[in-house]
Structure formats: structure tokens, C-alpha cells
């Protein structure tokens, strides 16, 4: 900055003075820079989910009213959640498939909790572009593999909600959940 | 031209204000304004030493819990606390399970819709819910409370001057109407159904004294539940409901100000430094 | 730009050369607030407030945009969305308090900026346009601040909106239709809230645009200075950067410290408790007062208590309140003294300090309840306010005998610093090497 040409003999010795004065200017500007960055942090953080949104980040679901073969649609983190009790036949159909032939290889065991193989809990969000697949509601089209069918671009999921046909790249996502009792789960 | 116009406008405004002043002054002298009963008998809040006062003050968690207990057992029957959620109570030192239990056992239920019939129903509150209101709407609240709607308490201590001391003073300030008041203002007798309180803006309020006897609540921490203690505790609790981020704010402020002092000191040195040659030449 | 000795922009880095050829934006900045703008060397700290006002506007725009991300402009939810911001949004309380107190600090800084201009005659030729544009900014700020205060939809918001729009109702014949049109209803409601939100979002950017014009107009004659004497040569000026950027950096630090003290330790001190009560059209607060920065004008409004023949007092008050601001537009032609700086105008200086006292008293009365003796005091002091600008100032400028002016800016600086003989006087100053960016 401006100090160089005018630093004759200000510090203890001339040369030291130059460096000390430049150092102060650099330090002042750097300090202001650090301050500006520190201010930006809350400005960014305010766009993260607020406390009330986070408070709804887990959902309890009562399973007692769901009969085998039935499914319900509920919400988890403001998105649809499919909870389905599979029939013996549906479980058998899912187990029949060799996972290595699948686009996203997974067995039904891997997608359900140990000993609760009949409870298939998945997000109701097509892994292609995020539409809500049909099949959870009474009488809805379940597609040719008897699971879920996405009407947007024709992705078909089987009875383990695995992608079998259509453009979707992945199986329907299984969220984190645990059984809090025999008839209730806590998702999230 | 501008100056002549300005002179006339100025003369008009200044002159008419002077005339208005003379009118006013004459009226003031000939018919001095009568003192009102509020002017003479309204009192500023009492002084209370709260733990959260001063730039480094903090909430006393034990006191907030006691205050919450007073709110729960006394105030919440009539007053809502609609901007506060049960989950916020974790800041008082309750853990997640305790908050869940408090919500579940709350006497007033959260309005909901029956998922089977679609009709209005109620359910137990969960931590994510705000405190349910004791009355469905203002009409119901007024009908149940002698035509006075009990105000929401979430922001009460910020909605009054010296709010924390105000809440304490109001609760402990009920008294007989002073004899000299009735002597001076015979028409100002407290109407039937209202209660005299010199800390209330117009001296008579609809709320009956909420805390009347020692031991009205039983504190778990062994603090003696005198009326004074309960009033202080609930005032502290309502200060927290109005300003839950008080401690974060002061902590952030301290760091910010220390940083700014150093930065400004450096900026001053840089400023002197840059101007050194100009000052010397001058 | 303004002076022939202003440094010319010569980009060193090839990238900057390339940019400067295609779009001379770096050159514009360099000439506006860089080394290319020569500024009188003798500016005192009162010249910091222009830059600080710009900083305050930036704070308002940034925090305001963030507030808008969490706000719902609907009368049913406005109050609770603000509370939601305060309680649940990450750092929401910080944004909200910064925005509310930022408005106050913006006005503090702008008032100091205006009074600096009044004292040092910054409104005089050749800087009339700078002054007029500044007043436009001030009016826009007042409109923005008023509408912003309505948005939280508390009791003061609601009743402030009702009272201020009610002022227009004082206008004969067309007043009531105008009031209804402003509100989009017969009382403040959802329609009013939405339009106020929209305009409150828009106006700060209009202000920013007028600030650009304000600075542009300033750069034609260059900055004024505490002596009011014109710049005569290079020895009188220093480049804006680094000299005044450094000084403004220090000023900004002091400003931010004071702002932080208020924001973190007394964030509600300047606000009114009633605005923490949700708007209730059925119950009026005991005293309706605007924010502190409107108090002097509010006192003038309430000072008119007597009808003037067929003109009702209410209308007079409204006219006087608007006149008290509009008269400032005529100031360059009311004060005809050729001397700019109040330092060399002994009579003007005395009346200037009386004006400061007058405005402070008016401010106090404007914040007080509308009862005696405050109304009588406002009447006297409002009377002086008009007399000062419209009668006294033109008379002073006609009859006052100013003190002798210094021969030049440099001469005044030299006499102030009482230099030793070895540093030569005026001619040597010109030979003083210009600072460069070499360091």
C-alpha cells in the first residue's frame, strides 16, 4: 500500500518499520476478511431446516389396522411413505427372483427387518424423477410385477418394491426405522 | 421569489403555531388538566433481582422448571402459550423422555381430525406440538372469563415495559383499593368482578389473584413455595418463553464485540499508518 | 473524473485489461471509490457517514432478504411467522434483531450525514443536485421504514398503519378515497399487508439506484470539505483509496461495535413493547407512537390544534409535517451566503446549534403522550423549526459578516498542524510523491 515510499525512519530502524507497517495493513484487511466469512456462516445456516421442521423428522406409524395384502400411505419428512403387509404369496413371489438378475440387486430379507419379513416399508418416491408410484391405495394399478407402478414414465416395482422394468435406476428407498412394539414403528 | 414565498409560508406556520400555543396555554392556565386516577395511583413495577439480568446474566434452569410448574398448575387453565412448543422445554433441562411425558400428560389436548371419520377430535400432544390453547377461540375465552380474554403469555414479558418485573409485580400486587383513592376519585371504585391492582395500566383487571396461598404448588426441588417465590419463578419462566435465545444472543454478542474491537484497533492502526506521510507533511 | 490530476486506471493484470476493454466496470469503480477519485485531504470524521449509510443499507438488504425467506405476508400468519423466525429458524433471531436495529442505525447515520451537510453547507452550489437526490433517498427511506414496521403485524404495526394512512384522510374531498385506495380496504388488512410487503421489498433497491445517482452527482464537483473552500490543486487532495478507504474502514469498525452492542445486549430498547402483541383491530394501544426516527415529524403533526378558519387543524398538521421535509428541497436557494462552512459563519453557527436542540426537543415531545405540556412545547419548537429554515436562514445569509476564509485547503491544514520549517509549505506539497499501489 501507500506506506513504502514514505517509511523513512518511522520504526525502530527504517527497514523494520516498512515491514511492521505493511504487516498492520495486511493484518487489518485479513481480519476484516475473516469477519466477513464469519458473518456468512449464519447467513447460510438460516436456510437449513428450522427447529420445527427437524422436530417432525421422525414419524410414528401404527400397524395394527393393516391387513395382509393391504398398504397405507402416510408421510415421512413431508414425503409419502408406503407401509405394506405382504401376503404369503407376495413374499414367495419376491423370494423366487434371483437377485443377481436385478438392476439393483437386493433380497426381500435385506429390505425388511429380521423376523418381520411381511412388513415392507418404503418411501413412496419413484427413484427415477420423484413421482409417487401407484399401488398403495385400494384398487390402484400395481403394475405387471404386483408391487408399485409409477405412472409418470412407467417404472414397475415388484412385491419387494424392487425396480423390475422402466427407467428408474434403483429400488424404492427403505428409510431407517425400528419396531417400537409388535404393531408400531418409528421411522427416522 | 423563492425567498419571498418561503418567508410567507414560514410566517404562516410559525405564526399559527404561536397562536395555537397561546390558545393552549390559556386553556392550560384557566382550566388546568385534571389529574387522572391512573396518573396518581399507577405504580411502576417493583424491582426484582433476576438471575438473567445484566449483560452476563443467565437463566436459572431450576427456577425455570419451577416457573413452568406454576404455569402448568395455575396459569395454563386460562392462558395460552401458543408460540412455545413442548420440544422447547428441553432448554429447561428436561430430557427427551421427560418432554414426551409432559406433552402426553398435558391436561389440554391438541385438536386434530379423526382419521376415520374426518370429524374434529383431540389427541395427546407430542413434543413437536405447540402448547394447546385452553379455549377454542376468543369468544369462548371471553364467555368463560367474565368477558375478558386471557392474553397469550408467550411474549408477555416483551409486550410490557420491564416485563419480567411487571409479571411479578402484577401477580403479587393485588390489594384493597386505597382509601385516599376513593376519597379523591369517588367514581373510580373498582367495578364488580374486577380486581384492584396498582401495577395494571388502568388499575382494575379481570383476572382474580392467581397465586393466593403458600404451597399452592409443591416444588420437587424443596424450594419453599411462598407466593413471592412462585411469582418470581413464573416471571422467570415467562421471560424465557418470550426470549428463549437470550443466552445464545449474549454469548454471540461477546464474541462478536471482542472480534470487532481487535479488528477496529487494527483498522485504526492501518488508517494512521496510511496517513502517516500526509500528517508528517502537514 | 472531476480533477485533471486524478489518477488514470491502468490495469496491470492481463485479465483486468481484458475485462476493462470489454466492460469498463473496474475503471468505473476505480474512479468512483478508488485511487482515481481525488478527495480533499482535510475531511473530518463527519465525512464518514456517507459510506456508513451505504453499509447500513447493505445490512438491511441482506438481513431483509433473509427475513423475507421466512416471512408470510398474510394477516393471519404474519405475526407468527416472525415469531417462528425468532424461535425456530437457525440464527433467525440474529437476522430479525439485526434488521430491526439496523433500521434505527441507518437513520442515526443518515441524520448525522444530513446535519453534516447542513452545517458545512454541502447543499450549496455546485452541489445542489447531490442535496436534492439525498433528500429523495431520505423520503424513500421513510416510506420503506414505515412499511417495514407494519410487516410484523403487531399492535403498533396495525395502528401505525391506520394512523399514517389516516393522514391522507385529512385531505379535503379526495382524502378518504385515497386512504381506502392505499389500504385496499376500509382498515388495514391483508391487502394492505401484502402491498406493503411488496413495496418494502422493492424500495431499498430504488434507494440503491438513487444512491448511485447521488454519488454520480457528487463526483462532478467532487466532495466538499470542512473549510468549504474549493479545491485548488493536487496539493489539496488525496486519492480516495487508500486514504479514505482506510479511514472509512476504521469508521465502519466503530459503527459495527455500537451496532453489535445494541443488537446483542439491548435489541428491544428502541422498539415498542406493544408490537409484541398481535394486531387487534378492536383494541387501540394507550399511546400510538411511531419509531423514534419519526418523532420530530410526529411532534410537528400533533402541534397543530387550532383550525385556521375553514382549514381543519388535522389538515394543517399534515401539511406542516410534509412541509417540514419538503422545505429542505429549497434550502440551496434559501441560504444565499457564499460561505459554505458553518465554521466561518458565527451567527449561522449559533442558530445551527439551536436547530439541533430544537429537533431533539421535538423528538422528545413526539415520543411523549399527546398531553400537556408536551403539545405546548412542540408548538413553540415546531414554530422555531419553520422560522429557522424559512425566515432566519435567508436573513442571516443576507446580513451576517463571515469570518475570513483560509486561502486554501492546504493552508488550513498547515495552520492546524503547526508544522516545522523543514517541511516546505504549499509548493513542496505538489511535489510530494503520489501514493501508489506498490506496497
Is residue A160 within 8 A of residue A120, CB to CB? The reply is: yes
Share of chain C residues as helix, strand and coil, in percent rounded to the nearest 5: 65, 0, 30
Tell me the mean pLDDT in the region A90-106: 91
Res C418: pLDDT: 55
CB under 8 Å, gap of 24 or more: what pairs does B193-202 form? Answer: B193/B146, B197/B170, B197/B173, B198/B41, B198/B42, B198/B43, B198/B173, B199/B42, B199/B43, B199/B45, B199/B46, B199/B166, B199/B169, B199/B170, B199/B173, B200/B42, B200/B170, B200/B173, B201/B38, B201/B42, B201/C286, B202/B38
Model confidence at A182, pLDDT cuts 50, 70, 90, reads confident
CA–CA min distance B103, chain A (Å)? 14
CB under 8 Å, gap of 24 or more: what pairs does C424-433 form? Answer: C426/C235, C428/B281, C429/B281, C429/C235, C430/C233, C430/C234, C430/C235, C432/B277, C432/B281, C432/C235, C433/A5, C433/A6
Instruction: Kindly report the backbone phi and psi dihedral angles of residue A112, in degrees, each rounded to the nearest multiple of 5, phi listed first.
Output: -135, 170
Task: Note the pTM of the prediction, 2 decimals.
Answer: 0.90
- Percentage with pLDDT > 90 across chain C: 87
Of C283, C86, A17, the closest CA to residue B148 belongs to: C283
**If you search the block for the grid coordinates 475503471, which residue do you land on?**
C27
Strand (E) positions, chain B? Answer: 110-113, 120-123, 195-196, 204-205
Distance, in Å, from the CA atom of B189 to the CA atom of B196, rounded to the nearest integer, reads: 9
pLDDT higher at A7 or C301: C301
Q: What is the pLDDT of residues A63-95, one digit of tens each?
A: 988 889 888 888 888 899 999 999 999 999 999
User: Hey, which residues of A are catalytic here?
Assistant: 153
* C254–B270 CB contact, under 8 Å: no
* C257–B260 CB contact, under 8 Å: yes
Res C375: pLDDT: 93
Chain C environment of B2 (Cβ under 8 Å): 330, 333-334
Distance, in Å, from the CA atom of C152 to the CA atom of C211, rounded to the nearest integer, reads: 27
Best B86, B258, B274 residue to mutate vs chain C (most C CBs within 10 Å): B274
Distance, in Å, from the CA atom of B149 to the CA atom of B138, rounded to the nearest integer, reads: 6
Which cell numbers hold the place of C409? 485547503
Best A31, A57, A61, A72 residue to mutate vs chain B (most B CBs within 10 Å): A31
Res A1: pLDDT: 37
Lowest mean pLDDT among A6-10, B80-84, C33-37: A6-10
Residues of A with CB under 8 A from a CB of C: 1-6, 22, 25, 28, 32, 42-43, 45-48, 50-53
Candidate list C219, C230, C349, C400, residue with the active-site label: C219
- Percentage with pLDDT > 70 across chain B: 99
Of C343, C345, C325, the closest CA to residue C335 belongs to: C345
Pairing verdict, β A177-181 and A184-187: antiparallel
**If you search the block for the grid coordinates 386512504, which residue do you land on?**
C179
Is residue A147 within 8 A of residue A157, CB to CB? The reply is: yes
Q: What is the pLDDT of residues C336-372, one digit of tens each?
A: 999 999 999 999 999 999 999 999 999 999 999 888 8
Q: What is the pLDDT of residues B206-262, one digit of tens each?
A: 999 999 999 999 999 999 999 999 999 999 999 999 999 999 999 999 999 999 999
The ipTM of this complex is 0.94
Distance, in Å, from the CA atom of A141 to the CA atom of A5, rounded to the nearest integer, reads: 83
Model confidence at A56, pLDDT cuts 50, 70, 90, reads confident
Which cell numbers hold the place of B157? 414479558
Which cell numbers hold the place of B135? 379455549
Residue C17, C-beta contacts closer than 8 angstroms, at least 6 positions apart: C11
Residue C261, C-beta contacts closer than 8 angstroms, at least 6 positions apart: B253, B257
User: Which residue of C238, C380, C382 is in closest CB contact with B278?
Assistant: C238
Distance, in Å, from the CA atom of C6 to the CA atom of C208, rounded to the nearest integer, reads: 26
* B267–A28 CB contact, under 8 Å: yes
Which cell numbers hold the place of B39? 396518573
What is the average pLDDT score of chain C? 92
Q: Is B253 on the interface with C (CB under 8 A)?
A: yes
Identify the chains in contact with B, defined as 3+ C-beta pairs within 8 A.
Answer: A, C
Distance, in Å, from the CA atom of A86 to the CA atom of A117, rounded to the nearest integer, reads: 8
Torsion of CA B272, B276, B278, B281, to 10 degrees: 140
User: Which residue of C243, C320, C383 is in closest CB contact with B275?
Assistant: C243
Residue contacts between A and B (CB atoms, under 8 Å): 47
C311 - beta bridge partners? C308
DSSP code per residue over B18-73: HHHHHHHHHHHHHSPPPPPHHHHH--PPPP---TT-STT----HHHHHHHHHHHHH
Is residue B240 within 8 A of residue B88, CB to CB? The reply is: no
Distance, in Å, from the CA atom of B125 to the CA atom of B104, rounded to the nearest integer, reads: 6
- Percentage with pLDDT > 90 across chain B: 86
Residue B223, C-beta contacts closer than 8 angstroms, at least 6 positions apart: B62, B66, B229
Model confidence at A11, pLDDT cuts 50, 70, 90, reads very low
Amino acid at each position: 500500500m501507500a506506506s513504502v515510499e514514505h517509511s523513512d525512519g518511522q520504526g525502530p530502524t527504517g527497514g523494520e518499520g516498512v515491514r511492521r507497517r505493511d504487516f498492520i495493513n495486511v493484518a487489518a484487511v485479513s481480519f476484516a476478511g475473516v469477519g466477513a466469512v464469519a458473518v456468512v456462516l449464519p447467513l447460510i445456516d438460516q436456510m437449513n431446516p428450522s427447529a420445527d421442521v427437524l422436530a417432525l423428522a421422525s414419524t410414528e406409524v401404527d400397524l395394527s389396522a393393516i391387513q395382509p395384502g393391504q398398504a397405507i400411505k402416510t408421510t415421512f419428512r413431508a414425503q409419502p411413505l408406503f407401509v405394506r403387509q405382504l401376503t404369503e404369496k407376495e413374499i414367495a413371489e419376491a423370494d423366487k427372483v434371483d437377485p443377481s438378475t436385478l438392476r439393483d440387486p437386493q433380497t426381500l430379507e435385506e429390505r425388511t427387518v429380521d423376523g418381520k419379513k411381511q412388513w415392507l416399508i418404503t418411501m413412496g418416491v419413484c427413484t427415477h424423477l420423484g413421482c409417487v408410484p401407484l399401488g398403495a391405495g385400494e384398487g390402484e394399478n400395481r403394475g405387471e410385477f404386483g408391487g408399485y407402478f409409477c405412472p409418470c414414465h412407467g417404472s414397475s416395482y415388484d412385491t419387494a418394491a424392487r425396480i423390475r422394468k422402466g427407467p428408474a435406476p434403483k429400488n424404492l428407498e427403505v428409510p431407517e426405522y425400528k419396531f417400537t412394539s409388535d404393531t408400531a414403528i418409528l421411522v427416522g | 421569489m423563492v425567498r419571498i414565498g418561503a418567508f410567507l409560508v414560514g410566517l404562516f406556520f410559525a405564526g399559527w403555531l404561536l397562536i395555537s400555543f397561546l390558545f393552549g396555554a390559556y386553556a392550560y392556565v384557566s382550566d388546568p388538566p385534571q389529574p387522572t386516577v391512573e396518573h396518581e395511583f399507577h405504580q411502576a413495577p417493583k424491582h426484582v433481582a433476576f438471575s438473567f439480568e445484566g449483560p452476563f446474566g443467565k437463566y436459572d434452569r431450576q427456577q425455570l422448571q419451577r416457573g413452568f410448574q406454576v404455569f402448568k398448575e395455575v396459569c395454563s387453565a386460562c392462558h395460552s402459550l401458543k408460540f412455545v412448543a413442548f420440544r422447547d422445554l428441553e432448554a429447561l433441562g428436561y430430557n427427551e423422555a421427560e418432554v414426551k411425558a409432559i406433552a402426553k400428560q398435558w391436561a389440554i389436548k391438541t385438536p386434530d381430525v379423526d382419521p376415520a371419520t374426518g370429524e374434529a377430535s383431540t389427541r395427546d400432544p407430542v413434543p413437536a406440538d405447540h402448547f394447546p390453547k385452553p379455549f377454542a377461540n376468543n369468544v369462548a375465552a371471553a364467555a368463560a372469563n367474565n368477558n375478558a380474554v386471557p392474553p397469550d403469555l408467550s411474549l408477555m414479558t416483551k409486550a410490557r415495559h420491564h416485563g419480567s418485573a411487571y409479571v411479578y409485580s402484577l401477580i403479587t400486587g393485588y390489594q384493597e383499593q386505597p382509601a385516599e383513592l376513593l376519597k379523591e376519585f369517588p367514581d373510580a371504585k373498582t367495578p364488580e368482578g374486577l380486581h384492584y391492582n396498582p401495577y395494571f395500566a388502568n388499575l382494575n383487571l379481570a383476572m382474580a389473584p392467581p397465586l393466593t396461598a403458600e404451597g399452592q404448588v409443591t416444588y420437587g426441588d424443596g424450594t419453599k413455595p411462598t407466593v413471592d417465590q412462585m411469582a418470581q419463578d413464573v416471571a422467570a419462566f415467562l421471560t424465557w418463553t418470550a426470549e428463549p435465545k437470550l443466552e445464545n444472543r449474549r454469548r454471540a454478542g461477546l464474541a462478536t464485540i471482542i472480534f470487532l474491537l481487535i479488528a477496529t484497533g487494527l483498522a485504526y492502526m492501518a488508517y494512521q499508518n496510511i496517513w502517516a506521510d500526509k500528517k508528517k507533511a502537514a | 473524473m472531476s480533477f485533471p490530476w486524478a489518477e488514470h486506471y491502468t490495469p496491470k493484470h492481463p485479465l483486468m485489461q481484458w475485462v476493462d476493454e470489454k466492460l469498463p466496470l473496474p475503471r468505473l469503480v476505480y474512479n468512483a471509490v478508488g485511487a482515481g477519485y481525488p478527495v480533499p485531504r482535510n475531511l473530518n470524521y463527519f465525512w464518514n457517514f456517507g459510506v456508513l449509510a451505504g453499509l447500513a443499507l447493505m445490512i438491511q438488504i441482506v438481513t431483509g432478504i433473509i427475513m423475507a425467506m421466512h416471512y408470510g405476508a398474510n394477516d393471519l400468519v404474519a405475526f407468527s411467522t416472525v415469531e417462528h423466525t425468532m424461535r425456530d429458524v437457525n440464527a433467525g433471531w440474529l437476522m430479525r434483531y439485526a434488521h430491526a436495529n439496523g433500521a434505527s442505525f441507518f437513520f442515526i447515520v443518515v441524520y448525522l450525514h444530513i446535519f453534516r451537510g447542513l452545517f458545512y453547507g454541502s447543499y450549496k452550489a455546485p452541489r445542489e443536485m447531490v442535496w436534492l437526490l439525498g433528500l429523495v433517498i431520505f423520503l424513500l427511506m421513510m416510506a420503506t421504514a414505515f412499511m417495514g414496521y407494519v410487516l410484523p403485524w403487531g399492535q403498533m404495526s396495525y395502528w401505525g398503519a391506520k394512523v399514517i394512512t389516516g393522514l391522507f384522510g385529512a385531505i379535503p374531498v379526495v382524502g378518504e378515497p385515497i386512504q381506502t385506495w392505499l389500504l385496499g380496504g376500509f382498515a388495514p388488512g391483508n391487502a394492505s399487508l401484502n402491498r406493503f410487503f411488496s413495496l418494502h421489498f422493492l424500495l431499498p433497491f430504488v434507494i440503491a439506484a438513487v444512491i448511485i445517482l447521488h454519488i454520480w452527482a457528487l463526483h462532478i464537483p467532487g466532495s466538499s470539505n470542512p473549510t468549504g473552500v474549493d479545491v485548488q490543486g493536487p496539493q489539496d487532495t488525496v486519492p480516495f483509496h487508500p486514504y479514505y478507504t482506510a479511514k472509512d474502514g476504521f469508521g465502519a469498525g466503530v459503527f459495527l461495535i455500537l451496532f453489535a452492542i445494541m443488537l446483542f445486549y439491548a435489541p428491544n430498547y428502541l422498539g415498542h413493547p406493544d408490537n409484541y402483541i398481535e394486531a387487534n383491530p378492536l383494541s387501540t394501544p394507550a399511546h400510538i407512537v411511531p419509531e423514534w426516527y419519526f418523532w420530530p415529524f410526529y411532534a410537528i403533526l400533533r402541534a397543530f390544534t387550532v383550525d385556521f378558519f375553514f382549514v381543519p387543524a388535522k389538515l394543517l398538521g399534515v401539511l406542516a409535517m410534509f412541509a417540514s421535509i419538503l422545505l429542505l428541497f429549497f434550502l440551496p436557494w434559501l441560504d444565499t451566503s457564499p460561505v459554505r462552512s458553518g465554521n466561518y459563519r458565527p451567527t449561522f453557527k449559533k442558530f445551527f446549534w439551536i436547530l439541533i436542540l430544537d429537533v431533539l426537543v421535538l423528538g422528545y415531545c413526539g415520543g411523549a403522550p399527546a398531553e400537556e405540556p408536551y403539545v405546548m412545547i412542540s408548538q413553540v419548537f415546531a414554530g422555531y423549526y419553520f422560522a429557522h429554515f424559512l425566515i432566519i436562514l435567508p436573513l442571516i445569509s443576507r446580513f451576517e459578516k463571515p469570518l475570513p476564509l483560509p486561502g486554501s485547503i492546504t493552508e488550513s491544514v498547515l495552520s492546524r498542524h503547526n508544522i516545522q520549517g523543514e517541511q516546505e509549505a504549499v509548493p513542496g506539497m505538489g511535489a510530494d510523491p503520489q501514493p501508489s499501489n506498490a506496497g
